A = this chain, B = another copy of it.
Amino acid sequence: MNKLVEIGEAIKRSNRVLLCGHVIPDGDCLGSVLALGLTLERLGKKVIMGGPDPIPEIYHFLPGLDRFIVGEPPEYEYDTFIVLDCSIPERLGQGYQEFLNKDLVLINIDHHEGSQPFGDYQYTDPKAAAVGEIILDLLDVMKVQITIEAAVNLYTAIITDTGSFRYENTTPGTHRRVALLLEMGVPATDINIHLYEEKPVAALKILGAALDTLTASTCGKVCWMTITREILHKAGALDEHTEGLVNYARSIKGVEVGLLFHEISKDLYKISFRSKNSVDVNKLAAPFGGGGHTRAAGCVLQGDLKIIQEQIITAATLAAGGSNH
């Protein structure tokens, strides 16, 4: 916690802050950036919050999001650069990476296992379920009052990165922190509706179409779904609507590895890997030029679908201890 006190002091000394998360922003990075940014503004600091990529629609309800700048970071005389939820500098995106070389106090807060060390002040806690947890602790050691807007952002950060407390990163401390946030008046039901019950019809149509392609290996340990451009167009869906579909392939009894083959352009396939108990899909995806985490990874391959599926499914079946025959 001492390192967090040090970071709190450094932040208190800042006046003109550039604050960002990572490319392809998720709930934890957005919620953490907004919670910290809004709080620093209340402390009278000039704060620019932003990131290179557009905000997925489900996060549009987040308080303060209208202040979030998408694209290149505005040129300005900052004194401090705060980076959240970003394991390697490359995940900042090109425009923000350039600020790493400027004469700024660099503060880096993350929770990824094996996060690269960079920054004048670095705080990485792989046991934190979300960076949102760390920001809550940081505001606590800074003795700053947490507004309801910040609390809503932190609640969102935590529930999205824990899969509503289902993932193995969820700790007793996660639940205790959420209890505090609810006591501050966070409207949890509304937030859950925003995140999980405002889907476009097309997202359900593409789910239905993907489930129609569901196939299991002979051994039952690998299960996959396929979305071609044709299937996508027929469902009236966009690529972003396929987010999370791979989890359905893993959710079957006896399945250890779930796969989604998603044609992102003609003969170019994004393959998503998810595992349940034993297979390290980070290692499984590596020979195919991909990677990620132990339970979630991905790769992109060009070529004929049948050949790609044959290769990946064979490798997945072997890794799962199953047999193709």
Chain A residues within 8 Å of B, Cβ to Cβ: 159, 164-168, 170-173, 175-176, 178-180, 182-183, 188-189, 192-193, 196-201, 204-205, 207-212, 214, 216, 223, 248, 250-254, 276-277
Contact = CB atoms under 8 A, between A and B. Distances in A.
Taking the full assembly, how many copies of this chain does it contain? Answer: 2
A253 B164 CA distance: 20
Query: Looking at A165, A167, A183, A276, which has the most chain B CB atoms within 10 Å of its CB?
Result: A165
Contacts of A216: 201
B164 A172 contact: no
Contacts of A172: 179-180, 182-183
A223 B277 CA distance: 36
Contacts of A166: 164, 188-189, 192, 196
A205 B251 CA distance: 12
Contacts of A210: 208
B200 A205 contact: no
B214 A201 contact: yes
A197 B250 contact: yes
Contacts of A199: 251-253
The secondary-structure label for the interface of chain A is helix
A196 B252 CA distance: 9
Give me the 7 closest cross-chain CB pairs, A-B, nearest first: A208-B211, A172-B179, A175-B179, A198-B253, A168-B189, A175-B175, A164-B164
A252 B200 CA distance: 6
Contacts of A251: 196-199, 204
Nearest to A165: B165
Given A172-B183, A176-B176, A200 B164 contact: no
Contacts of A252: 197-201, 204
A151 to B, nearest CB: 12
Query: Looking at A180, A201, A214, A277, which has the most chain B CB atoms within 10 Å of its CB?
Result: A201
A182 B170 CA distance: 9
Given A179-B179, A201-B252, 20 more contacts: A164-B165, A164-B166, A165-B188, A166-B192, A168-B188, A170-B188, A171-B182, A173-B179, A175-B179, A175-B182, A176-B176, A198-B251, A198-B252, A199-B253, A201-B214, A201-B223, A204-B214, A204-B248, A205-B211, A208-B211
